Amino acid sequence: MTLVTPETPKHKKSKALKPGARPPAKELCSECGLCDTYYIHYVKEACAFLNQQFDKLEEGTHGRRRELENPEELYFGVHQDMMAARKQQPIPGAQWTGIVSSIACAMLEKGLVEGVVCVQNTPEDRFGPMPVLARTPEEVLAARVNKPTLSPNLSVLETVERSGLKRLLVIGVGCQIQALRAVEKHLGLEKLYVLGTPCVDNVSRAGLQKFLETTSSSPDTVVHYEFMQDFRIHFKHKDGSIEKVPFFGLNTKELKDVFAPSCLSCFDYVNGLADLVVGYMGAPFRWQWLVVRNQTGQEMLDLVRDQLEVQPVMSRGDRRQAVQQSIPAYDKGVTLPMWAAKLMGVVIEKIGPRGLEYARFSIDSHFVRNYLYVKRNYAQKLAAHVPEFAKRIVAQYKLPD
């Protein structure tokens, strides 16, 4: 129990949201976990869905805003370096080659941090998120692989403060990191490191079940999946087999309601406020994509640099026509017959966007869809909620009413 004195910070007198209570962002809540702690005190300012404040948070984190006239920063945010990389010896069972887990382990081993916020799975469910404050490399490794659902990572922030820990690494997706950056100054830390991943189209645990049942031939044996740069979803099953389903064959009508409303109104695909971002979509097939946003991110990367194979980022093709043509399909929930979807997948794979252009393809498609979603469902929020960089990206396309 917290002993309340006149010096006690205001937030410590606030009460976390009761289980099942309606969150401040209502149906737009991404369950980032902030409201499960007394930091709910700052929710009006901190919540990514109540207060869009990229400019201020970018300045506070990186010392400057992204340059909107610089085409790479417009898309990928503030950065000082970008590359494709993969571990020479991948970590078995990681989402990709395990660069995220390796950096977190190295930070603990070298004493840069005393704890890592990451997300393991619950004992009863391989995809059930269980955020933890990991204190050992073994606990970090137990968090490897995506839990492809909304995850309340920030729910452990009270534990962090109570533990008296001063140097912390947080691993998380964009909405979690936006709220984290907004309350960073209240955490009592000497140093916060943020290792982000891109994130898009996330779902609740129930939504994930529907997605698996609608899309995979064996939903109960899926242990891992990814929307790959070859325009197919790769499902990995328990027995090690890989099932590939073309994006264009997805049952978009059935799946329209699966994605969380928070994710349908998110414009932070590339996790603009992390120090270092590790994804895959800007890299060639089978490589990971690294975006170093600032010196802190560089310091983190340097710890594992000798474990990596690295190559420069590349970009090929022109996404624009494919994005424009896919807008009505997204919008009306059209499903192509499987034979046509496979054919389209093969054609696009041969001539389609690659590397950074694939990342732009994905950003454009999702920003357009999300812009239309906010416009139709939260028209009064549109002007303030959509950041300027996203407005410029969407403005390249002809949109339906």
Task: Choose from ligand FAD, ligand SF4, none: what does 211 bind? Cβ within 5-8 Å by kind.
Answer: none
Does position 262 interact with ligand FAD (CB under 6 A)? The reply is no
- Which residue of 30, 37, 202, 215 would you call a contact of ligand FAD, by CB under 6 A? 202
Task: Choose from ligand SF4, ligand FAD, none: what does 35 bind? Cβ within 5-8 Å by kind.
Answer: ligand SF4
Give the range of 28-36, 81-89, 123-131, 379-387 binding ligand SF4 by CB under 6 A. Answer: 28-36
Does position 294 interact with ligand FAD (CB under 6 A)? The reply is no
Half-sphere exposure of 364 (CA within 13 A, CB side): 23
- Which residue of 37, 43, 57, 192 would you call a contact of ligand SF4, by CB under 6 A? 43
How far is the C-alpha of 272 from the C-alpha of 254, rounded, in Å?
31
Residues 169-188 contacting ligand FAD, CB under 6 A? 171-173
How far is the C-alpha of 270 from the C-alpha of 274, rounded, in Å?
9
x/- track of binding to ligand SF4 for residues 83-122 (CB under 6 A)? ----------------------------------------
- Which residue of 37, 38, 41, 49 would you call a contact of ligand SF4, by CB under 6 A? 49
H/E element, 60: helix 54-62
Distance in Å from the first CA to the final CA of the chain: 54
Output the smallest distance, CB 338 to ligand FAD, in A.
23
Give the range of 26-34, 36-44, 142-150, 327-335 binding ligand FAD by CB under 6 A. Answer: 142-150
Q: Which residues of 202-231 are buried (b: 16+ CB within 10 A; e: fewer)?
A: bbebebbbbbbeebbeebeebebbbbbbbb
Does position 219 interact with ligand SF4 (CB under 6 A)? The reply is no
How far is the C-alpha of 263 from the C-alpha of 208, rounded, in Å?
13
- Which residue of 37, 41, 47, 78 would you call a contact of ligand SF4, by CB under 6 A? 47
Q: Which two tokens stand for residue 114?
A: 């005393």
Residues 77-116 contacting ligand FAD, CB under 6 A? 94-101
Task: Choose from ligand SF4, ligand FAD, none: what does 246 bind? Cβ within 5-8 Å by kind.
Answer: none
How far is the C-alpha of 311 from the C-alpha of 362, rounded, in Å?
22
Contacts of 244 (CB under 8 A, 6+ apart): 230, 232, 233, 234, 235
| Nearest of 113, 156, 157, 159 to residue 136 by alpha carbon | 113
Does position 199 interact with ligand SF4 (CB under 6 A)? The reply is no
Does position 131 interact with ligand SF4 (CB under 6 A)? The reply is no
Does position 129 interact with ligand FAD (CB under 6 A)? The reply is yes
Task: Choose from ligand SF4, ligand FAD, none: what does 148 bind? Cβ within 5-8 Å by kind.
Answer: ligand FAD
β-sheet bridge partners, residue 279: 289
Does position 197 interact with ligand FAD (CB under 6 A)? The reply is yes
Does position 182 interact with ligand SF4 (CB under 6 A)? The reply is no
Does position 32 interact with ligand SF4 (CB under 6 A)? The reply is yes
Question: Which pairs with CB-CB distance under 8 Å and at least 24 residues apart come from 128-136?
Answer: 128/205, 131/33, 131/155, 131/156, 132/156, 133/159, 133/160, 133/163, 133/165, 134/104, 134/108, 135/108, 136/108
CB-nearer residue toward ligand FAD: 97 or 178: 97
How many other CB atoms are there within 10 angstroms of residue 66's CB atom? 23
Main-chain dihedrals φ then ψ at residue 62, nearest 5 degrees: -105, -5
Helical pair 54-62 and 174-183, crossing angle rounded to 10 deg = 70
Residues that bind ligand SF4 in the complex, under the rule CB under 6 A: 23-25, 29-32, 34-35, 43, 47, 49, 179
Residues that bind ligand FAD in the complex, under the rule CB under 6 A: 94-101, 118-119, 129, 143-149, 151, 153, 171-173, 197-200, 202, 226, 278-281, 288-289
